Structure 1
Amino acid sequence: MIKRSVLYAGTMAAAVLAGSAAHAERGSDGELKILFWQAVSTLNPYLSGGTKEEYSSSMIIEPLARYNEKGELVPTLVTEIPTLENGGVAKDLLSMTWKLKTDVKWSDGTPFTADDVVFTWKYCTAPDGGCAQRAQYEGVKNVEAIDPHTVKITFTEPKPYPYSAFIGAQSPVIQKKQFENCVGPAAPGCTSANFGPIGTGPFVVKDFKANDVITYVANPNYRDPAKPAFATVTLKGGGDAASAARAVLETGEFDYAWNMQVEPEVLATMVAAGKGKLVTAFGTNVERIVLNWYNPDPALGDKRSTKEAGPHPALSDPAVRRALSLAIDRDIIDEAGYGEAGKPTCNIVPAPEAFNSTKNDSWCLKQDIEGANKLLDEAGWVKGADGIRAKNGVKLSFLYQTSTNSVRQAVQELVKDMWSQIGVGAELRNISASVFFGGDPASPDTFQKFYADVEMYTNNFSGTDPEKYLAEWMCNNVPAPANGWQGQNIPRYCNPKFDELLAVLSKTAEPAKREEISKQLNDMLTEEGAHIPLIHRGNVSSHSLTLEGVKINGWDSELWNIADWSRKK
């Protein structure tokens, strides 16, 4: 167990007390207890693509702007959102200018300036830095400080939709002074900074035990002297989704629990206890099965699941990828594991509605065992005595991994049975969520390293425009040893035509054309089998009936407005 304690000098402790005395509302509601059954591994979202890291760190470090519960872009550390109308976005679309608020301080009392914003860009784009959020800075040519409170971003080419860098929980600003010696290959080794970032948000880290528990205290230098209402926050990690739900809905031991991936009928029984409520928001979450386009054979050693390993011996066949999707009954999976909190989908970009494609629904949404078998027959995959198909000595038998969760294990069993009907075998494996989503480059069990044939998880994107999300499937975002396994192109999909079309999207201003191109990119990923989308998931969390101010958000961190949470009096 790794433990980090953030020790406060007497001046900071005095500041906390002074702030509490001068502004009675700050800290007046005592302790807030949050439960993440997927434990947090780091508080630096640039070193992890996991939602749990993005949410837990969003209480500390903030972006220039974020999305509210309606999907609207709102200022956080700036005075306004730059637009063509207010002159913040240049007429040639080659640059944008942000005006920083002048009253923002870091939690250590030093001024928040444009230099910190410039540094954050350099940090994430540094060679060999392994930045998990590099796609957020795609197309950024330069970031410069015009003055201490003005930042200019210049793009490599006209950027009709410029809202990506420094926006949302995936792209916060980090302090230059704290991280300036943590750039490039040095980034993962900066444990003190990664476990206790200095921030501008409502809370400060007091104590961090990786994969276990985090203790926060109210930031004495937070820009609103009356907030946050809670003096401390305890964020506990571990367990499972069902026990997390029970701790809020039945026992009342915790105030808030994230990600209630629990069978609908089980949740209904818990809610009946009368201690808490469920809150749901449909954003862009999609539960998907990802197919490994590289060979993950353990005999390949360090080369496994890398370009050097070569194509996957079976999943490189388009017929196999299509057959695996055809064999799945998404309606059964939805009914068994999600109920009203899920919708069958064939898209990796299911929302907003204007971006939701229907092109693949005709072949993908309904199970077609006969069609899947025919595809494999025609492709020369022949069933053996054991019922498993093979071709040229390669068997259609896959290691299928996911995180430990009762719903996911139930889905694994359902999919295994469905695939058996087309002559495909599956060895099921589940890994602790804190490890699977942890992003530790030394671990063989992370979803980024992908030492399996297929794996299943949920991912999403912040905001309402999918350009930066779709950029994750570019060839240069494949996880590899050179980038610390932090690339977000998990299937190792690489199609130059996809990259070219994405470049067209980045230059397109007309909303209808952006929607059309985004759908085309989405359709390519599904048609070519980069993944098998299963369920468009609602964000389902639970909170105590004594908790006020919660606004469930499907477009950003669920904890985006935690400064406004309070206890009912």
Structure 2
Amino acid sequence: MPARLWSHVIMAAAIAAMLLAACGAPQTSTPSAPPQAEGAAPAEPTAAPAPDAAATDAPQTATSGGTLRIGRTAAPDSLNPGVWYLAEAYEIIFLVYDSLIATNLRNQAVPQLAREWSVAEDGKTWTFKLHEGAKWHDGTPLTAEDVVFTYQMIQGFDSFGLIKDYTTLIERVEAPDPTTVVIAFEDTVANTDERFSGVPILPKHIWEQFESEQEALEFENLEMIGSGPFRMAEYRPGEFTRLTAVKDHYLSPPKIDEVIYRVFGNDDAMVQALRTGEVDLIIPPETVIRTLQNDPNIRVEIGDALSLTDIIFNVTEPENCPPEDGQCTGHPALRDVRVRQALAHATDKQQLIDVVKLGLASPGLGLVMPGHGEAFHAELQDYAYDVARANQILDEAGYADTDGDGVREMPGDPSRPLRLRFSYPSDQFGADGTRFAETLSAMWREAGVELNVQPLEADALTSVCCPAFDFDVILWGWGAGVDPASLLYILTTEQIPTGVSETGYSNPEYDALYEQQLVTVDREQRKELLFKMQEIIMRDVPYIIPYYGQAVEAYRADRFQGWVIDPEGVLALSDRISLVEITPVQ
């Protein structure tokens, strides 16, 4: 499922699977593939290979126990599954909670709370058989009634963060017995893997106390009673989160005893903590990769990721401004598609990749990524870096520099220069954000557009972003889910008041295509719809996607071993796939 990115890399798999392991090197189970809906792709093997030999040092003595310490530069924005947006919250929530199914490092569906599942001939009715013995962290048995309650509660709310969309089009959810769940859709649905893996199952006996949506969304959820392989032990906002292993977990009891997420004030402090052994795993900035690779006790892994960095334009029209939360103070020039197209021409993506990512990225096109396979519109024509063309577009549109200060003004209103507020999450992006802002500012200045850089911490940036729309341009990013449309819903009109839409973009044609692809299970027909949506986004430029980043993670090879690495999958060392498998080195 999607999540707003942490710094430097980025979200890998959408909802990672727990992989069963035998003794010795990590192994994975191969469940029987569930039947496919008519017109769906044939099932493929779901097991990931054992870690590549290069992923760890020479074999060392392994034991159970130990505390893994993970360094981050930003804290979770919420522990409530209905409120979180940041990846720092995502990784904790999906260690503590289970979903019906999960996806492995190759984005293939595998069991989690459900041990098996099937779909009826009509392609609309799904039956899940749950693992027996699953229980909540307070000891209460987990039953199918909890699953039914979770889906029905979220369905009944107008908003439930990034999760709400996964409960649309559901006609009914039933529990014929304590270990069986039936989910029936109104029509055939294309993105079922992402839907079933994207909803954390919540305990009915905890959440049924809330009589209103507001009460549920205001719930801090500090105890986080879940059913996952780790339980909440201690949480100090802005400092650390400590989780303890559920040693009797029904599916994948972790081998380690604890995992602690520690928040650092900046990249330098986090990197130094890795070097000194204060933490065991981090996402390092690209600038220190070479030096870390020279440390004999540290290993750096670089791999694929379903992630992107985006330049977000506030294009909210006054009539679409959310009545309750919207401020909608965006610069009016950004509502002119010609201005956005000109800025796209003024953006040198390769230079940004070289300066900010040190080459560890590829030029971006849109919200569907190469990792989404055939649904990625690889032939889409991007805006060539051409400053002369950018200036020509702005000249012809009437944006002149009448006072000769190098900054253009609104047509007919020289008192309104094209000076744009530009923000990025300083705690997440760190030095990357500074380099990006400096580089982009110089590029756009050549087209007569000036940036007023205003770094904000992620929580503050969320408050001005969505649904307030109290900004001009934001640099941020997304980690995508397994389905190619996992980020496309962000641009639908209905998401403007929910806090999911970042741009305020509204296009009835786009909305209709999105709804149509949701219920189109024929691969070729759906691909055609997805291509049209990508073409519309490229034409209208609510975003500029400068690059698709690679995943980079660094860990202490002298502290823990057994990390699950699939050369053909995404890199996700900090996901539960690895965290239930690793063991201390002695």
Task: Name 1:254's counterpart in structure 2.
Answer: 279
Match of 1:134 among 164, 181, 186: 164
Structure 2 vs 1, CA of residues 197 and 420 (structure 1 numbering), >3 Å: closer, same or farther?
same
- TM-score in terms of structure 1 length: 0.83
Aligned partner of 1:62 in structure 2 is 98
Where do residues 527-546 of structure 1 align in structure 2 (5 Å cutoff)? 527-545=539-557, 546=559
Amino acid paired to 2:207: F
Contact 2:367 2:487 (C-alpha < 8 Å) held by counterparts: no
2:270 to 206, 229, 244: 244
Q: What is the deviation of 1:312?
A: 5.2
Q: Name which of 165, 171, 177 aligns with 2:199.
A: 171
Question: In the alignment, which of 210, 213, 217 is matched to residue 184 of structure 1?
Answer: 213
Read off the aligned partner of 1:177 and give its amino acid letter: H
Q: Which residue of 1 aligns with 2:177?
A: 147
Contact preservation (8 Å) 2:437, 2:453: yes
Cα separation, partners in 2 of 1:408 and 1:176, compared to 1, 3 Å: same
Secondary structure of residue in 2 paired with 1:423: coil
- Does residue 201 (structure 1) correspond to residue 228 (structure 2)? The answer is yes
Q: Could you tell me whether the CA contact under 8 Å between 2:551 and 2:571 is conserved in 1?
A: no
Deviations 1:408-467 (Å, cap 9, x if unpaired)?
11001111111100011110011123544xx6xxxx44565442101011102222x223
Give distance in 2, aligned partners of 1:537 and 1:447. 24
Give how far 1:379 is off.
0.8
Structure with the greater relative contact order (CA < 8 A, sep ≥ 6): 1 or 2? 2
Query: What secondary structure, in the 3-state scheme, does the structure 1 residue paired with 2:201 have?
Result: coil
Contact 1:355/1:519 (8 A) holds in 2:
yes
Contact 2:364 2:545 in 1 (8 A): yes
Which residue identity lines up with residue 218 of structure 2 in the other structure?
G
Distance 1:302 1:131, change over 3 A: closer
In structure 2, distance between residues paired with 1:50 and 1:289: 17
Would the aligned equivalents of 1:27 and 1:232 in 2 still touch at CA under 8 Å? no
Which residue does the alignment assign to 1:500? 512
Match of 2:377 in 1: 357
2:451 aligned to which of 414, 417, 426: 426
- Say whether 1:396 aligns with 2:418: yes
1:534–1:45 Cα change, 3 Å: farther
Structure 1 residues 304 and 237: alpha-carbon distance in aligned structure 2, compared to 1, 3 A threshold: same
* Aligned residue in 2 for 1:9: none
Structure 1: stretches of 5+ with no match in the other structure: 1-25, 83-87
Equivalent residues of 1:318, 1:529 under 8 A apart? yes
Deviation at 1:267, TM superposition (A): 1.7
Q: CA deviation at 1:217?
A: 1.5
Contact kept, 8 Å, 2:301 with 2:553, in 1: the verdict is yes
CA distance in 2, matches of 1:550, 1:124: 35
**Letter in structure 2 aligned against 1:433:** A
1:39 touches 1:434 (CA, 8 Å); kept in 2?
A: no
CA distance in 1: counterparts of 2:524 and 2:585, whole angstroms: 45
Displacement of 1:139 after TM fit?
A: 2.2
CA contact (8 A) 1:129 1:185 kept: no
Say if 1:556 and 1:293 are closer, same or farther in 2 by CA, change over 3 A: farther
Q: Are 1:471 and 1:502, in contact at CA under 8 Å, matched by a contact in 2?
A: yes
Contact preservation (8 Å) 1:208, 1:215: yes
> In structure 1, how many angstroms separate the alpha carbons of the residues matched to 2:286 and 2:330?
37
Amino acid at match of 1:314: A
- Change in CA separation of 1:333 and 1:274 when aligned onto 2, cut-off 3 Å: same
Helix, strand or coil: the match of 2:119?
coil
Instruction: State which drifts further: 125-134 or 320-329.
Output: 125-134
Matches within 5 A, 1:224-235: 224=251, 227-235=253-261
Cα drift, residue 220 of structure 1: 4.8
Q: Is the 8 A contact 1:472 1:489 kept in 2?
A: yes
Deviation string, structure 1 residues 356-397 (Cα, Å, up to 9, x no partner): 223443x42x31101111111111111132211112323211
**Residue type at the aligned position of 1:380:** G
**C-alpha RMSD of the superposition:** 2.6
For residue 13 of structure 1, what is the aligned residue in structure 2? Answer: none
Q: Which residue of 2 is the match for residue 522 of structure 1?
A: 534
SS in 2 for 1:497: helix
Query: For structure 1, which segment, 232-241 or 547-556, has the greater mean C-alpha deviation from structure 2 after superposition?
Result: 547-556
SS across alignment from 1:382:
coil
Of residues 97-106 and 35-44 in structure 1, the stretch that sits farther from structure 2 once superposed is 35-44
Matching residue's letter, 1:357: H
TM-score (norm 2): 0.81
Alignment gaps of 5+ in structure 2 = 1-61
Per-residue CA deviations over 1:87-114 (Å, capped at 9, x if unaligned) read x112222221111111211111111111
* Distance change >3 Å, CA 381–CA 521, structure 1 → 2: same
- Letter in structure 2 aligned against 1:563: V
Structure 1 pair 56–285 and aligned structure 2 pair: CA distance change class (3 A) = same
For 2:194, what is the secondary structure of its paired residue?
coil
* Superimposed CA distance per residue, residues 274-320 of structure 1 (whole angstroms, 9 cap, x where no aligned partner): 22122233232010101111279xxxx996983x8598511110101
Take 1:40 and 1:557, find their aligned partners in 2: how far apart are those partners?
A: 18
Question: Which whole-Å CA distance do the structure 2 matches of 1:539 and 1:171 have between them?
Answer: 24
| Within-5 A mapping of 1:16-165 | 28-80=64-116, 82=117, 88-165=118-195
Secondary structure of 1:515's aligned partner:
helix
Q: Tell me whether 1:373 sits opposite 2:391 in the alignment.
A: yes
CA distance in 2, matches of 1:147, 1:556: 36
Q: In structure 1, what is the equivalent of residue 29 of structure 2?
A: none
Q: Distance in 2 between matches of 1:275 and 1:524?
A: 49
Whole-angstrom CA distance in 2 between matches of 1:341 and 1:156? 43
Cα pair 2:331 2:420 within 8 Å, conserved:
no
Alignment length (residue pairs): 510
Describe how 1:214-233 pairs up with structure 2 within 5 A.
214-224=241-251, 227-233=253-259
CA distance in 2, matches of 1:57, 1:270: 30
Q: 1-side partners of 2:156 and 2:345: how far apart?
A: 42
Partner AA of 1:151 in structure 2 = V
Q: State the Cα distance separating 1:339 from its structure 2 match.
A: 3.2
Residues 105, 221 of structure 1: 8 Å contact kept? no
Q: Is the 8 A contact 1:284 1:349 kept in 2?
A: no
Q: CA 1:330 to 1:468, structure 2 compared with 1: closer, same or farther past 3 Å?
A: closer
Q: Distance in 2 between matches of 1:447 and 1:412?
A: 21
Provide the rounded CA distance (Å) in 1 between the counterparts of 2:452 and 2:239.
29
Q: 1:431 to 1:55 in 2, by over 3 A?
A: same
8 Å contact from structure 2 (residues 469, 504) kept in 1 = no
Q: CA deviation at 1:551?
A: 2.7
* 1:467 aligned partner: 485
Distance (whole Å) between structure 2 residues aligned to residue 62 and residue 224 of structure 1: 11
Question: Does 156-165 or 55-64 show the bigger shift?
Answer: 156-165
The equivalent of 2:576 in structure 1 is 560
Deviation at 1:224, TM superposition (A): 4.9
The aligned counterpart of 2:562 is: 549
Shift of 1:240: 2.5
Measure the CA separation in 2 of the matches of 1:314 and 1:197.
45
Q: Which amino acid aligns with 2:233?
A: K
Relative to structure 1, the CA distance from residue 556 to residue 161 in structure 2 (aligned partners, 3 Å threshold; closer, same or farther) is farther
Change over 3 Å in CA distance of 1:173–1:55 after alignment to 2 = same
Q: Distance in 2 between matches of 1:101 and 1:556?
A: 25
